[in-house]
């Protein structure tokens, strides 16, 4: 498949082989924080919908 002057296609493992452990740790931290932020947004949204449906206001 590779023609003259082109390198053969790399697998995803080959492309991550050059990443340092600091880069991998940063990527894991970024993905996990995104996951937690998204989950907290969903929990907050569901709680606000439930509170709005019950009709009880804060301080009442």
Note the pLDDT of residue 28. Answer: 95
Domains of the chain by residue range: 12-53
Residue 2 near residue 9, CB atoms below 8 Å: yes
pLDDT over 70 (residue 60): no
What's the whole-model pTM score? Answer: 0.55
Note the pLDDT of residue 15. Answer: 67
Note the pLDDT of residue 54. Answer: 84
Over residues 13-57, the pLDDT tens digits come to 776 677 788 889 999 999 999 999 999 999 999 998 988 888 777
Note the pLDDT of residue 37. Answer: 97
Gap between the terminal Cα atoms of the chain: 71
């Amino acid at each position: 498949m590779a023609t003259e002057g082109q390198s053969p296609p790399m697998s995803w493992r080959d492309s991550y082989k050059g990443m340092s452990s600091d880069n991998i740790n940063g990527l894991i931290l970024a993905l996990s924080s995104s996951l937690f932020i998204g989950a907290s947004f969903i929990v907050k949204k569901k709680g606000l919908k439930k509170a709005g449906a019950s009709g009880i206001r804060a301080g009442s």
